[in-house]
Amino acid sequence: MKPVDEMSIKLDRYKRFYNSKEKGNILIVANYKTDDTIDIDLRDFDFSSKDEHKRYWDVLIENTERIMEDRRGLDDDLIYGITLHYGFGAFGMVFCDTDISFTDNTSYMHPVLDDWGKLRSPLYNKDRFWSEIFIEAGRYISEMAAGRFMVKPFPSPSPLDVANLLRGNELFTDYYEHPYELKKLLELAVPAILENYFNIHEAINNPWGGTFTFGKWIPSGILILEDAADMSSPTQYQEFGAPYTSRVINAAGGAYIHHHSLAPHQYKNIAGLNGVWIEQISSDPRPKRPVTDLGYLLSQVGDIAVDIECVPEEVYMYIDELRKGRFILTVSCSNRDEAEEVISFVRDHSKIK
C-alpha cells in the first residue's frame, strides 16, 4: 500500500474509535526499532541558530521516511509523523526569556519567576526566538511531508506545567504560601497557551485534519502535558489545575492529555475533564503499570479512552480485562515479526478491525 492509502485506512479506524463509546474497542501501535535510523544527540546542534534547527528537522524527516519504509504494510494504528522533541525545557521558552541547556535527549530551562513582583502580562510573545522556531517547524516539516506524514511541533504544557516551568519546584509550596499569586499566574497562562497553540496550528498544512499526537490521532484539539498534576494531590489539582486546563481544552476543541502512572490518584480527575479524547498514561519505573492494574484504572476513567504502554506478553495476559474498556495499546516489540503477531491478536479481540 502507498503511505496515503495506509493513512486513510488508519484514520478510518480512529474515527470509528472516537465515534463509539462501546467497550472492547481497542487500537494498537506496535513499536520496534528501525535499524537504519540516525541516532540523535541534542548536544550536536547549536540551537541558537535557526539554520541548526532546520538541520535538526531534516534529520527527523529522514528518520521518519526510513521508519515509514521499514514499516510499510504493517497493519497497526501508528500514524506516521513527527512530534518535535527538544525536551521539556524548550516548551517553557515561548513563555519567558531565560537560558536553556541540553542533554543528549532533553532540555532544562532555568526558572525565572523567583519573585512574584516579576510577573508580567502577557506571558507569550510571538516574536520570541523559540516561539518563531516552533511556528516555522510546523510550516517547514508539514511542507516537506507533503501529506505523507503529520507533525506536532509543540506538545503544550498545561497551565499548571507552565507554572512549574516558570516557578520551578516552588510551585509545590505556592499551593500553601502563595495561592493568590499562583492563581494569577495560571490565569495568565491560559491565553498564553492558546495563542501559542493557534499560531502553530495555523502554520501547519495538514490535509488529513484533526491533530497528530504521539504517533496517534485525535479528531480535534490540543496535545497537552499535565505532568505537574502527578506531584499534586487531587484536591490541589481540582483547585489549581482542572479549572485552567479545562479552559484550554474547551477553547482548543478537545485534548489528548498526557501524564504518568506516578499518579493513579489523578486518573479520575483527568478523565473527568470535559473534552478529553484520550487520557495517555506513561509508565514510570516504580509505580504499578496501568496494564497490570486495569480494574482500578477502569473504575476511575469510566468510558474515557486510555492510551497505555505495554509489552506483547501483557497484551496476551490481560486481553479480557482490556476488552472491558476503550484502549490504545502502545506496545514495545523487539522486532517486526513480534509486532505482526501482537497486531493480529489485538485485531482478533477488538471490536474495531
pLDDT digits over 57-70, tens only?
999 999 999 999 99
Task: pLDDT band for 264, please (50, 70, 90 cuts).
Answer: very high
pLDDT tens column, 94-120: 999 999 999 999 999 988 999 999 999
Q: What is the mean pLDDT of residues 266-274?
A: 98
How many other C-beta atoms can be found within 10 angstroms of the C-beta atom of residue 339? 24
Q: What is the mean pLDDT of residues 156-166?
A: 98
Is residue 86 within 8 A of residue 42, CB to CB? The reply is yes
Instruction: Give Cα separations from 280 to 118, 135, 188, 327, 334 (angstroms).
Output: 34, 25, 26, 10, 22
pLDDT at 332: 98
Angstrom distance (rounded) from CA 340 to CA 287: 29
pLDDT at 84: 93
Q: Which CATH fold topology does 3-349 show?
A: TIM Barrel (3.20.20)
CA neighbor of 327 nearest in space, from 7, 8, 17: 17
pLDDT at 218: 98
pLDDT tens column, 243-258: 999 999 999 999 999 9
- 10 Å CB burial of residue 340 (0-12, 13-18, 19+) is middle
Angstrom distance (rounded) from CA 12 to CA 57: 29
Which three-class secondary structure string do you get for the chain? CCHHHHHHHHHHHHHHHHHCCCCCCEEEEEECCCCCCCCCCHHHCCCCCHHHHHHHHHHHHHHHHHHHHHHCCCCCCCCCEEECCCCHHHHHCCCCCCCEEECCCCEEECCCCCCHHHCCCCCCCCCCHHHHHHHHHHHHHHHHHCCCCEEECCCEECHHHHHHHHHHHHHHHHHHHCHHHHHHHHHHHHHHHHHHHHHHHHHCCCCCCCEECCCCEECCCEEEECCHHHHCCHHHHHHHHHHHHHHHHHHHCCEEEEEECCCHHHHHHHHCCCCEEEEEEECCCCCCCHHHCHHHHHHHHCCCEEEEEECHHHHHHHHHHHCCCCEEEEEECCCHHHHHHHHHHHHHHCCCC
Q: What is the mean pLDDT of residues 196-206?
A: 96
Q: What is the mean pLDDT of residues 303-307?
A: 98
Instruction: Give Cα separations from 161 to 60, 227, 306 (angstroms).
Output: 26, 7, 21
pLDDT at 6: 86
Angstrom distance (rounded) from CA 75 to CA 93: 38
Q: What is the mean pLDDT of residues 35-56?
A: 97
Least confident of 1-5, 11-15, 139-143: 1-5
Q: What is the mean pLDDT of residues 287-314?
A: 97
Indicate if the pLDDT at residue 158 is higher than 90. Answer: yes
Task: pLDDT band for 2, please (50, 70, 90 cuts).
Answer: low
Indicate if the pLDDT at residue 193 is higher than 80. Answer: yes
**pTM of the complete model:** 0.95
Q: What is the mean pLDDT of residues 195-199?
A: 98
Residues 6+ apart with CB under 8 A from 194: 248, 251, 252
pLDDT at 108: 96
CA neighbor of 346 nearest in space, from 18, 80, 25: 25
- Average pLDDT score over the chain: 96
Angstrom distance (rounded) from CA 43 to CA 47: 9
Q: What is the mean pLDDT of residues 82-102?
A: 95
Q: What is the mean pLDDT of residues 179-185?
A: 98
Rg (Cα) of the chain, in Å, rounded? 20
pLDDT at 5: 84
